[in-house]
Structure 1
Amino acid sequence: MTTATYTAADTALLVVDPYNDFMSEGGKLYEAIRPTAEASGLFDNLRKILPAFRAAGVKVFIVPHHRSRADDYAKWDHLNMFQKANIPSQAFGEGTWGGEFNPEFGPQEGDIVVKEHWAQSGFANTDLDFLLKQHGARKLVLVGLIANSCIESTARFGMELGYHVTIVPDATAAFSHEGMVAAATNAPMYAHAILKTEELLGQLG
C-alpha cells in the first residue's frame, strides 16, 4: 500500500504564473512555451493534478508574476534579462486579457492568491511564506511556469526556508528544450522529491 506523502494537513500546491499570456492560445508567450509544454504534457497533467489536489482538500496557492505597467522599471539600476525583454512586449499587462488568469488553470474558489513577485522567486518580497505558515504547510508541490526560472527559484527559496519541496517536471514548461534540461539537471540539488504526475497522484492522501 502506498503511503500518503501529500495530505491536506501539511501540503500546499503552488501553481506558478497561470496567466493567459502563458497558458492560453493567443497569449504573448504561449507559442514560446508550447513546444516544451506539449513535450512534457503540461496542460493535460495540470488537468489531473489541480482537481485531484482540490478534491483531497490540499490548499492551492496561486503564485503570480508582477503584472506589467509601462513605467515599471523607470530608473531601476539592475534589471535582469527577462525584465529587459518584457519592456517592449509587456507580457502579463495590467488590465489586459494576457494579464488575467487562465480560467482553467488559474484560481478557483477557496484558492489563495499570493502577492505578485517582481522577478523569479515567488517568496522574494511577497507574502507566500507567511500564508503557507498560516495554513500549516510544510510540503510544497510546484507546478506551472517557467521550469528553469520561477519554478526553480521559488523551489530553491522554499528549501532554504525549511520546506519539503517537490518538483513535477511533466507539469512544467520552459522557453526551450535546453531550459527544461537545465531545470532537470539542477533539481536534485534542492528538491526533496522529483515526481511524474502519476507518481505524485499515487502519493496523494
Structure 2
Amino acid sequence: MTRLLPSLHSTLSPLVLAAAIGLGGLAKADDGLPHPGFEITAGNTALLVTDPQNDFLHPDGVAWGVVGKNVIENGTVEHIEELFATAQQTGMPVFVSPHYYYPHDHGWKFEGTLEKLMHTIGMFDRKGALDTAEFEGSGADWLARYKPYINDGHTVVTSPHKVFGPETNDLVLQMRKQGIDKVIIAGMSANLCTESHMRELQEQGFEVMVVSDATAAAQLPGLDGYAAAMVNFRMIASDVADTETVTAAMLAAVN
C-alpha cells in the first residue's frame, strides 16, 4: 500500500509540494488548507468512472462543442483509459455510473438549467431501459476504446443516475456490498456528475479522491466548469492528484 500524499507540508517548498501531490500547481502551501491524503489499500479501494460516454468524450458527441477543448487539454480520454488499464492490471474493483435518458424522462414537468439543455439536445438518449435498438455507437454508448475494460465481466455498471449524483442509482449499495470504503473518482463532467458523485460519497462516509486530469468540463464565456470543480475537489476530497501519480500508487499498492 502507498500514500499518495506524504506528510511533507512543513518540509517542502510550495512548488515541490504541488509537484509531489500531482495537482499541477493547483494546491499550494499558502492556500491555508490541510492535505489529508489518500491511502490506496487492496480490497477496499475502488475506481469509479462517471459518464465515460460518447456524448461527452467523442468529437461527434452532442456536448463536445463545450467540453472538447478541455478534454483535449487535459488528455482526459487517454487518462481515463490509463486508469481503467491499471485497475485491470492490479485487480482493483471498477464501478461505472452511467447517465441515460429514456422517453419517459422527457416528460418531466420541471428541469434545472443543464437538465433542460441535456433533454433539448438529446444527450444520453436511449429508446428505453430494456431496448438497445440504435444504442451501439450512439451518444449514450461507451467510448469504443473503453469497451474492453467495461465489458470485461468484472466491472460493475450501476443503474443510471438521472440528474448528476448517485442518489438516484444503486452505486452506494453496490460498493457497500463489495466492502468498498475508499473511492478514486474520474470521468465526466467535472463540475456536474463527477463532483456530485464526490459530494454524495463523502456524505455517505466514503473516503474519496479525484483524478484531476481524468476529467473535464464545459467552458463557456464567464463560466469555467473545470476551474469551479477543481476548487471544490480541493476543498472537499481527501486528495486530488494527476493520473501519473495515481496509477503509480495503484501499482505500488499491490507490490
Same fold judged by TM-score > 0.5? yes
CA shift, 1:137, in A, is: 0.7
The alpha-carbon distance between structure 1 residues 75 and 138, as it changes in their structure 2 partners (threshold 3 A), is closer
SS in 1 for 2:180: coil
TM-score by length of 2: 0.74
CA distance in 1, matches of 2:241, 2:56: 23
The alpha-carbon distance between structure 1 residues 84 and 11, as it changes in their structure 2 partners (threshold 3 A), is same
1:69 counterpart (102, 124, 129): 102
CA shift, 1:98, in A, is: 1.2
> What's 1:191 paired with?
237
Of 83-92 and 157-166, more deviation after overlay is shown by 83-92
Given that residues 70 and 87 in structure 1 are in contact (C-alpha distance below 8 angstroms), is that contact kept between their aligned partners in structure 2?
Answer: no
Are 2:93 and 1:59 aligned?
yes
Given that residues 219 and 225 in structure 2 are in contact (C-alpha distance below 8 angstroms), is that contact kept between their aligned partners in structure 1?
Answer: yes
CA shift, 1:2, in A, is: 4.8
2:151 counterpart (108, 126, 132): 108
**Which amino acid is 1:179 matched to?**
G
> What's 1:82 paired with?
114
String of CA shifts for 1:51-75, please: whole Å, max 9, x gaps: 011111111111111x223442425
**Which amino acid is 1:101 matched to?**
W
**Which amino acid is 1:103 matched to?**
A
TM-score by length of 1: 0.91
**Which amino acid is 2:140 matched to?**
G
**Which amino acid is 1:29 matched to?**
A
CA shift, 1:161, in A, is: 0.7
1:146 counterpart (172, 186, 189): 189
Given that residues 70 and 90 in structure 1 are in contact (C-alpha distance below 8 angstroms), is that contact kept between their aligned partners in structure 2?
Answer: no
> What's 2:123 paired with?
91
**Which amino acid is 1:180 matched to?**
Y
Given that residues 7 and 58 in structure 1 are in contact (C-alpha distance below 8 angstroms), is that contact kept between their aligned partners in structure 2?
Answer: no
CA distance in 1, matches of 2:121, 2:227: 26
Aligned pairs, number? 202
CA distance in 2, matches of 1:168, 1:75: 33
CA distance in 1, matches of 2:78, 2:106: 36
Given that residues 101 and 162 in structure 2 are in contact (C-alpha distance below 8 angstroms), is that contact kept between their aligned partners in structure 1?
Answer: no
What is the aligned-residue RMSD (CA, Å)? Answer: 1.9
> What's 2:25 paired with?
none
CA distance in 1, matches of 2:42, 2:66: 34
> What's 1:171 paired with?
214
CA distance in 1, matches of 2:118, 2:194: 19
Gaps spanning 5+ residues in structure 2: where?
Answer: 5-38, 127-133
1:20 counterpart (48, 51, 54): 54
CA distance in 2, matches of 1:168, 1:108: 22
Given that residues 63 and 114 in structure 1 are in contact (C-alpha distance below 8 angstroms), is that contact kept between their aligned partners in structure 2?
Answer: yes
**Which amino acid is 1:83 matched to?**
E
Gaps spanning 5+ residues in structure 1: where?
Answer: none
CA shift, 1:135, in A, is: 0.9
